[in-house]
Amino acid sequence: MVKIIVKLKSKSYPILIESGLIYDPKAWPLYDSDRVMLVTNTSIASLYLNKLIKSFNLANINVDTIILPDGEQYKSLSILNRIFTLLIKKSYGRDAILIAFGGGVIGDLVGFAAASYQRGIRFIQVPTTLLAQVDAAIGGKTAVNHKLGKNMIGAFHQPISVIVDLNCLHTLSKRQFYSGLAEIIKYGIILDGDFFNWLENNLDLLLTLDLKALMYCVPYCCQLKSNIVTHDEYDQNSRVLLNLGHTYGHAIESYTNYLSWLHGEAISVGMMMAARTSYYLGYLKKEDMDRIQTLLLRAHLPIVGPKDMSPSDYLSYMIHDKKVISNDKKLRLVLPLSIGNADVFSNIENKVILSAIEDSNSDSVTI
């Protein structure tokens, strides 16, 4: 088992990574006196819930459950209220513990519920998708979506533990697995050129769920995310770099009402748009842009956005992004400068951004 400690000023917590971990009672920071509610979705419940509850019962831990519908469109205030309602009906107090058992949507919903219920209770992240395991479950960002923007309503609230069971990846659809690869590739682009090189050389192994490759890749990404969160828990400085491609990608998700694009798919397109923006500004070399595109395509990820979404459509959603400086409505974009290096820019002319979006979505343009 790999154990990574997220070290924060207020508290620290472990990330545990291994195959079969969810059925190991020793992995759970729970006691028989705890009041525990597990929140999951219909897809995950059908695969794991019965066996998991039996393992809890054998450890004398009683767990209530709530099963939510599956999909990004359900990361909303109305669904969040279902969690609050059950907590209140069952008289849960401040000593309660929530378990977020699912992908990024469940993690964000349950984390926000834990941050808000009686002004804050404990929760455990148990990410079941690749994207959540390497990114979304770590760092304490919790939120729900608004029709005008993704993750606009939320709070920072750290879990008490993150339990990563690599076996869960075997029940993911290929599309969901590819979506998670986008966030993995992002780490290489913004933080670590050597890791990007490793991905170029080992992507085929990851695509076959090779355990040795996963046991290197997933902990490495978790450590990278942990390092960033340790130095910038509240997204004021270096943590902003983790948003490479997200300003563009969130626009796609909002435009499509969170129905047809997975998060990683939208971020993949966004990273290519960010790369092209940087190239047009004279920062990113063409060969680096080529490498980014090639790796994304090898990972079966899209690099072109929705056909009916115009550059002005992107801009209208991007202006509502959380990273926008509210005083002057200037976009703050994370742009790659080279493989393994990125920075934040806030004075890019709209015509450059619009041109990069239009050309990225043009079939006639090749990188």
Each residue of 305-351: pLDDT tens digit?
999 999 999 999 998 876 665 556 678 999 999 999 999 998 899 99
Mean pLDDT of 60-79: 96
Q: Is the pLDDT of residue 126 over 90?
A: yes
Do the beta carbons of residue 125 and residue 161 sit within 8 Å? yes
Question: What is the spatial distance between Cα 89 and Cα 74, in angstroms, rounded to a whole number?
Answer: 22
pLDDT band for position 236 (cuts 50, 70, 90):
confident
Residue-wise pLDDT tens digits, 272-305:
999 999 999 999 999 999 999 999 999 999 999 9
Q: Are 39 and 109 in contact (CB under 8 A)?
A: yes
Residue 327: what pLDDT? 57
CA 121 from centroid of its chain's CA atoms:
22
Task: Answer yes or no: is pLDDT of 175 > 60.
Answer: yes
Predicted pLDDT at 356: 96
Is 90 exceeded by the pLDDT of residue 11? Answer: no
Average pLDDT rounded to a whole number, residues 148-169: 95
- 3-state secondary structure string, 12-63? EEEEEEECCHHHCHHHCCCCCCCCEEEEEEHHHHHHHHHHHHHHHHHCCCCE
**Structure-block tokens of residue 268:** 């993949």
Task: Indicate whether this model's pTM tops 0.75.
Answer: yes
For 68-86, what is the mean pLDDT? 96
Q: How far is CA 67 from CA 47, 48, 133, 280, in A?
A: 12, 12, 20, 47
* Confidence bin at 147 (pLDDT 50/70/90): confident
pLDDT at residue number 300: 98
pLDDT at 43: 96
Q: Closest Cα partner for 16 from 32, 31, 4?
A: 4
Across all residues in the chain, what is the average pLDDT? 95
| Range with the poorest average pLDDT among 2-6, 17-21, 143-147 | 143-147
What percentage of residues in the chain have a pLDDT greater than 70?
A: 96
Q: Identify the pLDDT of residue 322.
A: 64
CATH topology of domain 174-360: Dehydroquinate synthase-like, alpha domain (1.20.1090)
CATH class of domain segment(s) 2-171:
alpha beta
Q: Check pLDDT > 80 for residue 260.
A: yes
- Measure the CA–CA gap between 321 and 145, rounded to whole angstroms: 12
Q: For the residues 112-118, what does the mean pLDDT come to?
A: 98
> Could you tell me which residue, 364 or 341, shows the higher pLDDT?
341
pLDDT of residue 331: 87
Question: Residue 139: pLDDT band by 50, 70, 90 thresholds?
Answer: very high
pLDDT of 4 over the 70 cut: yes
- Cα–Cα distance between 163 and 278 in angstroms, integer? 37
Q: What is the pLDDT of residue 367?
A: 40
Within 8 A by CB and 6+ apart from 43, the residues are 70
Average pLDDT over residues 187-193: 98
pLDDT at 364: 46
- Residue 147 half-sphere exposure toward CB, CA atoms < 13 A: 1
Domain ranges of the chain: 2-171, 174-360
